[in-house]
Amino acid sequence: MRDPDSEDLSGLIGAGSAVFETGPEAAGARLDLWLTQKLGADFSRSRVQALVRQGAVAVAGAPATDPGRKLKAGETVEVILPAPTPAEPEGEDIPLDILYEDSELIVVNKPPGLVVHPGAGNWTGTLVNALIHHCGDSLSGIGGVKRPGIVHRLDKDTSGVMVVAKTDRAHRALSEAFADHGRSGELERAYVALVWGAPERSSGVIDVPLGRAADRVRRAAVPKDRADARHAVTRYAVLERFGAKPDNRATAALLECRLETGRTHQIRVHMAHIGHPVIGDPDYGQAFRTKANRLPEPLRSMAKDFPRQALHAQLLAFSHPVTGEMMRFEALMPHDMTELVDAFRHSDLHKS
């Protein structure tokens, strides 16, 4: 008999079985809730419910396919733990910049241009394909499938630090941390953004709800009473101003942006909303592209031809999902963004 109260069940994940005896406290309890507590952090309630419906659970020697079945004291509950099925996306040998890795998670510095997850138009060549190839059998299975657990995303053309779960328990804990948006103090995210112009204040808070734009792919700042409005807060600090005039107006600025929420395109939409869109942003900065015409060469060509939003996830700190240790990772801006920032820094913008 195996009891997770006294024995580590990690060796059963992916194969084997577990057998439990119900005590007096189990009388009247739902099978799925009781079993989720017994199996521990490696098994979510939805995964346990799936196992029950698949016929992988027996109570008192008979198959139990109803997750809501009421238990009695003194019953035997047996669970068959199937091996994780292969991931649907295939692994691909794509280079990864790995900042950290252990049996529970992996932290990478995502380059610009790399899509995170397979989808329409990008079924191969993604970060998930790369992780499946790299991690191999060290993926114990997310929801019963050998795949990496994506708990947050970066846009295709945004670079920087990402953490990815390798086990169910890491996926659950990290997902909860990101859903909490760091209010518990166990998550910190900071980006650097090169924007047109510069906010008048050296720091500030943008508290503006986001919703879907007309094309349903982009996002937009919307009134808080709109049905699809989602709370969104970004804190920013001006790190450097470029080409500041005597009236304190700047041609561009390098900002640090910290997220209190994690909405799609949040920083990009918020920066555009306050009149300082991210340079190179093809979705929210098009109206500012003519600003590059006022720049001196070679900066003018560099800014006009910059192929992506100049946005980089520089810092990610979180509590390790198993050990509880606070972990902190930083990644320098990639070469293309560093080169553009340096060009602004060293150009004589007062002559433009």
What is the chain's mean pLDDT, rounded?
A: 85
The DSSP line for 319-336 is E-TTT--EEEEE-PPPHH
Mean pLDDT of 175-196: 85
**9 pLDDT exceeds 70?**
no
- Judge whether 155 counts as a catalytic residue: yes
Q: What is the pLDDT confidence band of residue 248, given thresholds at 50, 70 and 90?
A: low
Q: What whole-number distance in Å separates Cα of residue 85 and Cα of residue 296?
A: 57
Query: Which residue among the candidates 42, 155, 168, 283 is catalytic per the annotation?
Result: 155
Mean pLDDT of 62-88: 80
Residue 316 is inside which H or E element, if any?
strand 311-319
Q: Which of 63-77, 136-150, 178-192 has the lowest mean pLDDT?
A: 136-150
Q: What values do phi and psi take at 2, rounded to 5?
A: -115, 135
CB atoms inside a 10 Å sphere around CB 225: 7
Ramachandran region, residue 74 (left: φ > 0; alpha: ψ -120 to 50; beta: rest):
left
Q: Which domains does the chain have, with CATH numbers?
A: 10-80 (3.10.290.10), 85-180 (3.30.2350.10), 184-352 (3.30.2350.10)
The DSSP line for 147-192 is S-EE-S---TT-EEEEEEESBHHHHHHHHHHHHHTTTTS-EEEEEE
245 alpha-carbon distance from chain centroid: 39
pTM comes to 0.74
CB atoms inside a 10 Å sphere around CB 183: 11
**271 pLDDT exceeds 60?**
yes
For residue 326, the model assigns a pLDDT of 95
Instruction: Please name every residue paired with 221 in a beta bridge, in sequence order, or none if there are none.
Output: 210
224 alpha-carbon distance from chain centroid: 25
Q: What is the pLDDT confidence band of residue 55, given thresholds at 50, 70 and 90?
A: confident
Q: Which of 95-104, 140-149, 173-182, 322-331 has the lowest mean pLDDT?
A: 140-149
pLDDT more than 70, % of the chain = 87
Mean pLDDT of 12-40: 79
Q: What is the pLDDT confidence band of residue 184, given thresholds at 50, 70 and 90?
A: low
